[in-house]
């Protein structure tokens, strides 16, 4: 039994608009098979995508707070020119500059139309084969503790563990990285961005949720009621969902 990250879940007042932004930002397509807007590679809806982690934008009635999200996306670029052009294009699509205390940095921090921060990275060799999303980045207090939990929770390969960061990636060597970075800020509000995990065919969501609880996950009640997914938090309180294989 194991799980794989398949989506970054983003809460939004207007999921169609936020979904369109991210589709344009990534050069992907927005699909609306139901109440949510799914963003994935162009060419028709394939879910789960065999390579990439998609984005699922879900409707919520409440706006975000001024608190920085503890989960964000890093976007890859191939050259300084590409980085500058992408930043300009994203601003034209509705992104705004964001200050998260980055100071003078070689990357550019922006926020999507509803204020969710993300970074447009300078070209880095490690991210040249990831596709448009270089990494899903999670702020944390203890990267080593995150390594212990997430290395067991999902089937991705652990690439790096230190006091400052933990890095995982699909064992296939494709798609984005998952990076846990040590930060001094404590979690104060529920995040508007989280990971969705999916069991493999033949595995059971309830059994996977039980396995995660033995690793240190905790049940999360958001008033979701009877739904085909299980809401949990990792040992530092980061929200995530385990979806049904069907």
Spatial separation of the C-alpha atoms in residues 61 and 13, rounded to whole Å:
6
pLDDT band, residue 228 (cuts 50/70/90)? confident
pLDDT band, residue 222 (cuts 50/70/90)? confident
Backbone angles phi, psi at 79, to 5 degrees: -165, 165
The answer to whether the pTM exceeds 0.75 is yes
The pLDDT, as a whole number, for residue 144 is 98
pLDDT band, residue 221 (cuts 50/70/90)? confident
The pLDDT, as a whole number, for residue 245 is 85
Spatial separation of the C-alpha atoms in residues 84 and 81, rounded to whole Å:
5
Q: Is the pLDDT of residue 163 over 90?
A: yes
Spatial separation of the C-alpha atoms in residues 156 and 53, rounded to whole Å:
13
Q: List C-alpha distances in Å: 119 to 90, 132, 133, 208.
A: 11, 12, 10, 32
DSSP letter at 165? E
The pLDDT, as a whole number, for residue 146 is 98
pLDDT (tens digit, 9 = 90+) per residue, 82-99? 999 999 999 999 999 999
């Amino acid at each position: 039994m194991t799980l794989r990250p398949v989506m970054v879940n983003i809460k939004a007042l207007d999921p169609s608009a936020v979904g369109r932004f991210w589709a344009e930002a990534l050069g992907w397509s927005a699909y609306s098979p139901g109440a949510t807007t799914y963003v994935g590679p162009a060419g028709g809806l394939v879910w789960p995508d065999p390579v990439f982690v998609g984005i699922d934008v879900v409707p919520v009635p409440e706006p975000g707070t001024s608190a920085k999200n503890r989960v964000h996306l890093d976007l890859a670029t191939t050259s300084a020119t590409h980085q500058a052009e992408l930043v300009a294009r994203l601003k034209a699509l509705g992104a705004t500059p964001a200050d998260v205390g980055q100071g003078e940095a070689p990357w550019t921090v922006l926020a999507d139309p509803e204020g969710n921060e993300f970074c447009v990275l300078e070209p880095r060799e490690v991210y040249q084969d990831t596709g448009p999303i270089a990494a899903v980045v999670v702020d944390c207090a203890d990267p080593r503790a995150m390594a212990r939990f997430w290395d067991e929770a999902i089937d991705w390969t652990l690439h790096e563990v230190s006091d400052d960061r933990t890095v995982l990636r699909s064992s296939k060597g494709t798609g984005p990285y998952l990076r846990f970075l040590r930060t001094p800020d404590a979690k104060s509000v529920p995040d508007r961005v989280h990971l969705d995990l999916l069991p493999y065919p033949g595995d059971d969501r309830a059994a996977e949720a039980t396995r995660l609880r033995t690793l240190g996950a905790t049940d999360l009640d958001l008033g979701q009621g009877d739904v085909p997914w299980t809401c949990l938090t990792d040992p530092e309180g980061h929200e995530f969902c385990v979806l049904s294989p069907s």
